[in-house]
Structure 1
């Protein structure tokens, strides 16, 4: 490059034999004195060391010698001026290369260095060489850095020190030495210069490490070839890969100077392997908190075992982020669901264990467990093959004894189950295109604050985000989209679940989910479900609907607020109780369902938006607030918005406590429930006992347990037409369903009253 710049440009000064009129005793500029005819300068045609040369008597304090012709100074070009000098007689001077810097208009360029290093002559007849480099850039090794304002120079040398000595000077040379600065100029260092072979078999680790140490901020170049690295290698400068890196799984390539997926893809020339090695570096590198996928689409041909990619880590608790990219599942047999059947024994007193498990060696951690008396989203947390035991993520509600269980291991694009604990891990702005081949994300067995934000889980085959243990503690899922692969199927045919969680403090916020079997099953306490839109309808007239949100804990402390719950319902169940019959505790308690939009269309009349499903007798509602919601059915009325699913057991309505069901709006709902419920009753005939019905408007078909108030709507009169001023007493819980109230008066009267009835104790 730089030789091309100076190609054809005259750099070399004229030889002295061409005449001393080309050499100035001043600055070399036009009009300055020359050595032609000078008494202190002469051409010597035959010197034993130099051949033709200039003999010069030092007569001034600084005896100058400058070539009269302009030597061009080009940006990016570096020139070395060289002179050979020997003292002949008299005082011994010092010598240095010197020049005069000129602008393009011929003016002097001041403020720049115009002399090189000075060398003292110490013996007569000894040839001494002096040199200096001039150029526009202030680089290491440049003696005269003149900058881009320099256009040309007049070069030669200076004699300094004592005057009176005679010296001889060989012809002065000026050469382009830009090639000596190429490495500095393009800021690239090649690993081959440090011994890398790139033959695919030789360990090039030492060469990479040495090149990195020498780079000093410059870019490291890995040219074409296959470079085997059998050691951990850290490259803390920018790096460019033309060649390919191969290394053992356990060895790490830490690209701290260029830490992003694109660079790892260049290094390994394999998208999946590059992702694994980049993730390995993320968990072993304190210099970066996030792995940027650079908006790249990564084709995935099988489940990515995230822990196996980092074999030196089984737990991790420092915040790390994978962001900004897309993983696409490719058609492959690697996604096949593995299914194993095995006989095992379940004892409710050891509620998370299966014992005496046949064929335990073939049961995989993370497999879903199904069987008689097994609730939804039950998974294998660990397997002890030697003991024949399987540990579950949750208890079973009615599986006591020995039976055949089915263990299905779904295949996930990102599988973290190998980690015993993974905390504060974030996936942001990433789309998992499962393509109907793969499931999405399987969480670690333990850990807290897994955070999924601004992500798409697109068309998962079986599951979107699965927790097989306590790795969902405090999980945050924000502004994500879950798009089903079962969009075209009727509700009864769907099997996929977007999210499940077992632990406390889960937050689902501002997400959207389409036509799954279930949007989410939350089995821990203190969950917050806010601002989501999940819908699960189909085109079947009078069709069934599945639960959108399942709360699988009786004492839940859950808040469900501001959601759009579309053609599905909230199911509240205790199906994870090993002994589901109520004996102690708070029962179905601490539930807050407020300010949601509930919408359905073309559903069966018995469809309801809020369903309580007890497993075991004796349960009741305790501290439940359902208020401010908007309930609407289109294309047909529904009976009511709330009900109890008595498939396994009913509630004990005599124990309800602190239940609020108020401030809701109802559209195309026949029985509009409330608690407290205001009932207007008109008694047209005189009677001592007025029987007041509630018209099936008590929430969940509950009992009329208390009368909060009785207000006369006009005069209460007896048979004589006289006004009655006595108050009746209330006798609630009447009728076969105990949903009626009797008002008992002192004498037979008639009139109209407004009665406020409650189903609960305060």
Structure 2
């Protein structure tokens, strides 16, 4: 059979046929006394006749037959015994490196066949290739070319004839589609789980040139980072040291990593590791898969070579589902510690500090809601807190509760510009959702679902929430069957500035959000926290803990929950030459409550220290509506710790709102008509039912007579009265004093504040 690999026929001369190893300069069969060309054998035509005179009689073609990765050759020889002793015959070859040196450690001969009858034609063959595959007789990894032929072994003195030797490319028998893929086995991969196959993977990838790289069945140990530029298909699995990275640049997605590592959780960890190690991809697609978890995923441990990261990355399109496991049990530690407002983010002299975990919720007297441990220094006995404490004793006992989260980023010192998109975090009552790194910024949650978190959906234990965005997400509490008073879960918290909460939905949490920091935009959301009870408690939904919040709440559906302003994260809660409560615009929202107790209010201010007041609050264009029972007012001051200084209110606006099922409408500035039927010099006008938060009637903007003002003789008078504001024991009245006793009707506009 003619092809480009076959050696020339013996008829062309014996000077290219070595009787040694086939290398240049070795002896040939030309003019040999123990060999001759036979031109007309009845079975072979032209053939070589050899008398066996050596222990191993060699016949090698001196031409170089190339060996390339992925190529498989079959060398075939037909022989027959003519007379004398019966020898054995096998295919053999000399493996050469590119420089001609012999490659050691490879098999140099194929299976041996014993000749048993004179004149019987026997075919011997062997398969040579670079990969250790079934049927390959001579595995020649690292060989550049070979000198092929046969070995004649056994007793000397026999006479045999050898037909022309054939070399055929049989790669197609080992390749399902040679044009579409290359196989790591062909490049020396062993797949025994012990041998380091990293170099073989790299070589296969280098040779693929756009074709797919196949990793066949087996367990491949990759001892160092491997980068694959071409698409890879894993039928076998890989195992790697924790610090080594598998970088799949072409088909970077979760399915490929699951196929590679044989496990969804490990596949996700390794894919995330690659995402933060220069895969040339900014996004990890989870391929819509559900990853079942029996323990939290320590995201930093998956990327052990990095403790901070600030390049945009995205994880999207999949589900993490917590399964019942003791690994989700929250850690609880009780310890004593010292606190001083002069160092407001530190707990010092902390006992049992080694057992306290970063990310733990801090509970104790004088501790506000959603205060977390963001760092610890064991040697110094110090904990760094996410927010100050408003009233802790100099030394007291604290409880530290560490919730378990599906994705835990607290191992990073700082993490920024990470987007989690279209992911369903199924806590199933076992696990919380996501805890951020202590520092960082610009974390985005887009179109995510948080289903039944055990304690929290999203937690920020420090300032890693700076500029966080929550867009189009859905939050489903695990506590829907409970009454609002008995719930404890919180959807999320923020400690830094510039939250963007938009078009999201929250169901049946104790609180929807606890927000420290300023500059928040809360737009187009729906949160509802009611239950089937009547005359019942309704908790705060959004809680602002910075006093002057510089924020907007616009176009939301606020259902059975209040907006609360508090200063519980202030180490000096009494007012002292600072911004006080305000900087908040509440505009165009729908407020609803069903079955709430009459004292419920949608807007609540809860000062934790004395001397505070309102400075900049705008409540405009909202709709307030109750069902199954009226409430008294839409706003109130919670005086559990302190009240407000009503004498200092400034820039407080309640206007263009609608009220249904509310006993007293809140309006500021408020214009009321007053009818004085009997002549009096002093008219006392009461604005108390309308002024926000039960404040004072601090200013009168206008007084207009509606019709004539008449004296006791029923004659018209034309003098104007002067006003006394903050009149009466509650200071919510205005007294008009006229030049004489008179009667009539006036329209008076009053304010609870001084607008300038």
Aligned to 1:381: 374
The separation in 2 between residues aligned to 1:51 and 1:185, in whole angstroms, is 34
Aligned to 1:737: 730
The separation in 2 between residues aligned to 1:224 and 1:47, in whole angstroms, is 50
Deviation per residue, 1:144-189 (Å, 9 max, x gap): xxxxxxxxxxxxxxxxxxxxxxxxxxx9x9x997838957644221
Aligned to 1:248: 241
Equivalent residue for 2:629, pick from 630, 636, 640: 636
How far has the Cα of 1:710 moved from its partner? 0.4
Residues 424-573 of structure 1 mapped to structure 2, 5 A cutoff: 424-573=417-566
Equivalent position SS for 2:206: helix
How far has the Cα of 1:236 moved from its partner? 1.3
The separation in 1 between residues aligned to 2:688 and 2:499, in whole angstroms, is 39
> Is contact 1:191–1:222 with CA below 8 Å preserved after alignment?
yes
* Structure 1, 199-208 or 179-188: larger mean CA deviation: 179-188
After superposition, the Cα gap between the structure-2 partners of 1:342 and 1:232, relative to the gap in structure 1 and judged at 3 Å, is same
Aligned to 1:357: 350
Residues 247-396 of structure 1 mapped to structure 2, 5 A cutoff: 247-396=240-389
The separation in 2 between residues aligned to 1:672 and 1:179, in whole angstroms, is 86
The separation in 1 between residues aligned to 2:556 and 2:173, in whole angstroms, is 69
Aligned to 1:585: 578
Aligned to 2:612: 619
How far has the Cα of 1:637 moved from its partner? 0.6
The separation in 2 between residues aligned to 1:605 and 1:384, in whole angstroms, is 49
Equivalent position SS for 1:210: helix
How far has the Cα of 1:51 moved from its partner? 8.8
Unmatched 5+ residue regions in structure 1? 1-45, 54-170
Residues 654-673 of structure 1 mapped to structure 2, 5 A cutoff: 654-673=647-666
> Is contact 1:569–1:609 with CA below 8 Å preserved after alignment?
yes
Aligned to 2:412: 419
Deviation per residue, 1:668-724 (Å, 9 max, x gap): 100101100112111111110001111421001010011100011111111101011
The separation in 1 between residues aligned to 2:235 and 2:180, in whole angstroms, is 16
The separation in 1 between residues aligned to 2:648 and 2:687, in whole angstroms, is 19
How far has the Cα of 1:251 moved from its partner? 1.0
Equivalent position SS for 1:334: helix
How far has the Cα of 1:50 moved from its partner? 12
Deviation per residue, 1:99-152 (Å, 9 max, x gap): xxxxxxxxxxxxxxxxxxxxxxxxxxxxxxxxxxxxxxxxxxxxxxxxxxxxxx
Query: TM-score by structure 2 length?
Result: 0.77
Aligned to 1:62: none
Q: Give the RMSD, CA atoms, in angstroms.
A: 2.1
The separation in 1 between residues aligned to 2:237 and 2:602, in whole angstroms, is 58
User: Is it true that 1:604 corresponds to 2:597 in the alignment?
Assistant: yes
> Is contact 1:671–1:695 with CA below 8 Å preserved after alignment?
no
The separation in 2 between residues aligned to 1:562 and 1:177, in whole angstroms, is 72
After superposition, the Cα gap between the structure-2 partners of 1:360 and 1:176, relative to the gap in structure 1 and judged at 3 Å, is closer
Equivalent position SS for 2:497: coil
> Is contact 1:183–1:189 with CA below 8 Å preserved after alignment?
no
User: Is it true that 1:725 corresponds to 2:718 in the alignment?
Assistant: yes
Aligned to 1:18: none
Equivalent residue for 1:210, pick from 199, 203, 208: 203
User: Is it true that 1:760 corresponds to 2:753 in the alignment?
Assistant: yes
The separation in 2 between residues aligned to 1:356 and 1:294, in whole angstroms, is 49
User: Is it true that 1:234 corresponds to 2:221 in the alignment?
Assistant: no
> Is contact 2:337–2:351 with CA below 8 Å preserved after alignment?
yes
The separation in 1 between residues aligned to 2:363 and 2:338, in whole angstroms, is 14
How far has the Cα of 1:201 moved from its partner? 1.9
Runs of 4+ residues deviating >3 angstroms: 46-53, 175-186
Equivalent position SS for 2:342: helix
Aligned to 1:675: 668
The separation in 1 between residues aligned to 2:349 and 2:410, in whole angstroms, is 24
* Structure 1, 236-245 or 198-207: larger mean CA deviation: 198-207
User: Is it true that 1:200 corresponds to 2:193 in the alignment?
Assistant: yes
How far has the Cα of 1:400 moved from its partner? 3.1
The separation in 2 between residues aligned to 1:714 and 1:521, in whole angstroms, is 52
The separation in 2 between residues aligned to 1:429 and 1:712, in whole angstroms, is 62
The separation in 1 between residues aligned to 2:169 and 2:206, in whole angstroms, is 30
Equivalent position SS for 1:349: coil
> Is contact 1:348–1:400 with CA below 8 Å preserved after alignment?
no
Aligned to 1:59: none
The separation in 1 between residues aligned to 2:599 and 2:173, in whole angstroms, is 87
Deviation per residue, 1:489-516 (Å, 9 max, x gap): 0011100000100000110000000000
After superposition, the Cα gap between the structure-2 partners of 1:245 and 1:176, relative to the gap in structure 1 and judged at 3 Å, is closer
Deviation per residue, 1:417-460 (Å, 9 max, x gap): 11111111100011111101000000011111000000001110
Equivalent residue for 2:588, pick from 591, 595, 599: 595
The separation in 1 between residues aligned to 2:272 and 2:536, in whole angstroms, is 46
> Is contact 2:497–2:518 with CA below 8 Å preserved after alignment?
yes
Unmatched 5+ residue regions in structure 2? 1-38, 47-163
How far has the Cα of 1:589 moved from its partner? 2.1
Aligned to 2:120: none
The separation in 1 between residues aligned to 2:672 and 2:608, in whole angstroms, is 33
After superposition, the Cα gap between the structure-2 partners of 1:369 and 1:178, relative to the gap in structure 1 and judged at 3 Å, is closer
After superposition, the Cα gap between the structure-2 partners of 1:267 and 1:51, relative to the gap in structure 1 and judged at 3 Å, is closer
The separation in 2 between residues aligned to 1:388 and 1:177, in whole angstroms, is 71
> Is contact 2:721–2:739 with CA below 8 Å preserved after alignment?
yes
Query: TM-score by structure 1 length?
Result: 0.77
